[in-house]
């Protein structure tokens, strides 16, 4: 059997939930840092000197939240205020880059507006910060050209310049020039559909592509600028997609890099900003708010581990992207807490933060959101899009994208129907055990995956099924940093979504005789109690009931999975399935099918 996940605190108001749960967490970190300073340890590991380039700024903004939200005149506020100069001196002495500079300046400006700056930061420390917290640290001032950073860092530089202006440290000219650069970058890479490619045309559309415009609007709001009509127009597109993905579990994006709790908080940022800017009607705002309460409640119940005093992305069968390694544990807590507290302010300005959330969220979503929707990201040589499917209270998101340089071979970028705790792609997985896509190995050692080159993308409805179809002129030859098109074999794909089932039909078409040494399909499942024959597996426990295939001769079931496959974003899979076809010389088309049945 299975139990549908619902966050237990999802009935509270956003403000009660977030401030009531997160301020004690910040208080714990304050005591830890105030006592340990540069020698602080967290869960047995040193906090500083571990390569987290943004940590000093995150500490500063966390301290600002704690000082501003703790009632003045209390013993707690007096203690935090007394320790603030020590921590700010520590922050000012540590290496701090780009985003960290932005966070630190945001903290100083918020303290200034709250009338706490002079008490929290001594004059000598503030003078040092005025010199070090500068966009010129990563931008060539004369040309306004970034120093070996991706172009989305123009937005960070703009935010820093604008905050320096608000602090009285420089005039508005640099902020205005950097804003022009930022907007030009967004328009260049968002194309006709309004979502930003993270690469220069490689097709990496993921969580950040949908979130980026909300972050940019937040920077406008934080630095007291009016959000432009064009940015509101773009944000409305992201809000529409966020509502299509909304659900009663509080789950957010389940594909691409940097997901887990960040996939959930991205939805909160998009919808809170949209509600504040008046982009949602009354019913949308109330139900978006209810969804966001559940996403925040999921953080408290699911992602936060009281035994660690920390968000858990790394232990007990969980894993995340390498750059968010456990050496950044404390900083990851500060990032998520800042996102939740800042979005609480937006919900407050929208007049909702202190209201109890609507209790009819599930019914409203079923009535108003499509059962099957395709959002385009780009069209051209290859099609890039996101399919969203709603069924039985579940939401599946299937990206037709490319991970591009460095990420194309990783499971979170595969064209599969992701749904948290049901179908997940292990971060930094590599191509050795691809999740739910064919792995074709040829006699010359090439390994090919059907991941990056979708064309002729089309959707239709046939009876009670929704159908997605596309072709690929070749497969992705993995092993290098960039995807490589291999046209020795092409592909026709059709994916059918019925009630309680998803079926994928692939037709591999050799364009020359192929010496195949291995053709396989693998699936790491959260269901257990597997009973298998050569072509199918039934599960007695979990939401996935049955998985069956055609085109393979051998089925291997490992319960639990081998050690290298016992971790995923949400926790450990229970079972690993591998279906294989023996080596063969093939010149004729090769049909392959799998069908997944869920309860």
Q: Could you give all domains of the chain from N- to C-terminal order, each with its CATH number? A: 14-366 (1.50.10.10), 389-598 (2.70.98)
Average pLDDT over residues 174-201: 90
Cβ proximity of 450 and 415 under 8 Å:
yes
Does residue 86 carry a pLDDT above 80?
yes
pLDDT at position 534: 87
CB 338 within 8 A of CB 102: no
> Over 80: is that where the pLDDT of 1 sits?
no
Mean pLDDT of the chain: 97
List, for residues 309-351, the tens digit of each pLDDT value: 999 999 999 999 998 988 899 999 999 999 999 999 999 999 9
> Tens of pLDDT along 424-456?
999 999 999 999 999 999 999 999 999 999 999
Nearest-angstrom CA–CA distance, 23 and 16: 11
Q: Using an 8 Å Cβ cutoff, are 487 and 514 in contact?
A: no
Could you tell me which residues come within 8 angstroms of residue 345 by beta carbon, excluding any fewer than 6 positions away? 353
Cβ-Cβ contacts under 8 Å for 75 (sequence gap 6 or more): none
State residue 572 phi and psi, 5-degree precision: -75, 130
- 11-46 CB burial, b ≥16 within 10 A, e <16: ebbbbbbbbebbbebbeebbeebbeeeeebebeeee
Q: Mean per-residue pLDDT for 483-509?
A: 99
pLDDT class for 217, splitting at 50, 70, 90? very high
DSSP class per residue in 297-342: HHIIIIIEETTTTEE-SSSSSB---GGG-GGGHHHHHHHHHHHHHH
In whole angstroms, what separates CA 517 from the centre of its chain?
36
Tokens matching residue 351: 């007049």
Whether 579 contacts 518, CB under 8 Å:
no
pLDDT-derived band at 191, boundaries 50, 70, 90: confident
What's the mean pLDDT in 17-46? Answer: 97
Length of the chain counted residue by residue: 599
Lowest mean pLDDT among 17-31, 38-52, 106-120, 413-427: 38-52
pLDDT higher than threshold 80 for residue 135: yes
Q: Based on the number of CB atoms within 10 Å of its own CB, is 455 exposed (0-12), middle (13-18) or buried (19 or more)?
A: middle
Say what the pLDDT of residue 139 is.
98
pLDDT score of 520: 98
491 forms beta bridges with: 472, 508
User: What are the pLDDT digits (tens) for 572-591?
Assistant: 999 999 999 999 999 999 99
595, containing H or E segment:
strand 590-598
């Amino acid at each position: 059997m299975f139990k549908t996940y619902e966050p237990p605190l999802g009935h509270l108001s956003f403000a009660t939930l977030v401030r009531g749960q997160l301020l004690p967490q910040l208080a714990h970190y304050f005591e830890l840092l105030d006592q340990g300073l540069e020698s602080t340890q967290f869960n047995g590991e040193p906090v500083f000197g571990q390569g987290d380039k943004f940590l000093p700024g995150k500490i500063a903004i966390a301290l600002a939240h704690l000082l501003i939200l703790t009632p003045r005149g209390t013993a707690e506020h007096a203690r935090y205020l007394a320790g603030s100069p020590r921590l700010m001196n520590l922050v000012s002495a540590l290496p701090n880059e780009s985003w960290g500079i932005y966070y630190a300046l945001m903290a100083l400006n918020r303290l200034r507006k709250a009338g706490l700056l002079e008490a929290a930061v001594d004059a000598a420390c503030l003078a040092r910060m005025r010199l070090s917290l500068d966009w010129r640290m990563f931008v060539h001032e004369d040309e306004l050209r970034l120093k070996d950073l991706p172009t989305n860092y123009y937005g960070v530089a703009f935010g820093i310049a604008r905050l320096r202006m608000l602090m009285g440290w420089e005039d508005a000219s640099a902020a205005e020039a950097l804003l022009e650069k930022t907007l030009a970058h967004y328009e260049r890479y968002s194309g006709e559909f309004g979502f930003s490619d993270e690469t220069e045309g490689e097709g990496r559309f993921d969580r950040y592509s949908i979130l980026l415009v909300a972050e940019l609007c937040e920077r406008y709001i934080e630095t007291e600028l009016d959000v432009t009509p064009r940015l509101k127009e773009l944000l409305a597109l992201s809000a529409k997609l966020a509502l299509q993905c909304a659900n009663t579990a509080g789950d957010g994006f389940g594909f691409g890099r940097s997901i887990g709790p960040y996939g959930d908080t991205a939805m909160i940022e998009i919808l809170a900003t949209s509600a504040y800017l008046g982009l949602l009607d009354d019913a949308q705002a109330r139900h978006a708010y209810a969804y966001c309460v559940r996403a925040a409640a999921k953080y408290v119940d699911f992602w936060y581990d009281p035994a660690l005093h920390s968000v858990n992305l790394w232990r007990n069968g969980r894993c995340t992207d390498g750059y968010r390694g456990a050496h950044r544990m404390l900083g990851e807590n500060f990032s998520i807490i800042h996102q939740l507290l800042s979005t609480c302010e937006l919900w407050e300005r929208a007049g909702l933060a202190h209201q109890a959330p609507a209790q009819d969220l599930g019914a409203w979503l079923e009535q108003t959101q499509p059962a099957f929707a395709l959002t385009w990201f780009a069209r051209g040589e290859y099609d890039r899009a996101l399919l969203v499917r709603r069924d039985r209270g579940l939401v599946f998101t299937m990206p037709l994208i490319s991970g591009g340089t460095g990420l194309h071979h990783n499971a979170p970028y595969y064209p599969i129907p992701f749904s948290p705790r049901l179908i997940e792609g292990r971060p930094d997985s590599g191509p050795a055990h691809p999740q739910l896509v064919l792995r074709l190995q040829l006699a010359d050692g090439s390994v090919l995956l059907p991941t990056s080159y979708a064309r002729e993308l089309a959707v239709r409805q046939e009876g009670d099924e929704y159908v997605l179809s596309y072709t690929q002129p070749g497969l992705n030859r993995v092993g290098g940093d960039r995807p490589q098109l291999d046209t020795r074999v092409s592909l026709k794909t059709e994916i059918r979504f019925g009630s309680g089932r998803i079926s994928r039909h692939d037709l591999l078409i050799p364009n020359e005789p192929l010496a195949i040494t291995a053709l396989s399909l693998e699936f790491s499942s959260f269901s257990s109690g597997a009973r298998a024959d050569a072509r199918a597996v039934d599960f007695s426990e979990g939401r996935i009931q049955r998985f069956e295939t055609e085109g393979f001769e051998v089925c291997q079931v490992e319960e639990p999975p081998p050690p290298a496959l016992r971790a995923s974003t949400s926790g450990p899979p229970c079972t690993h399935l591998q279906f294989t076809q023996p080596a063969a010389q093939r010149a004729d088309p090769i049909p392959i099918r799998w069908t997944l049945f869920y309860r």
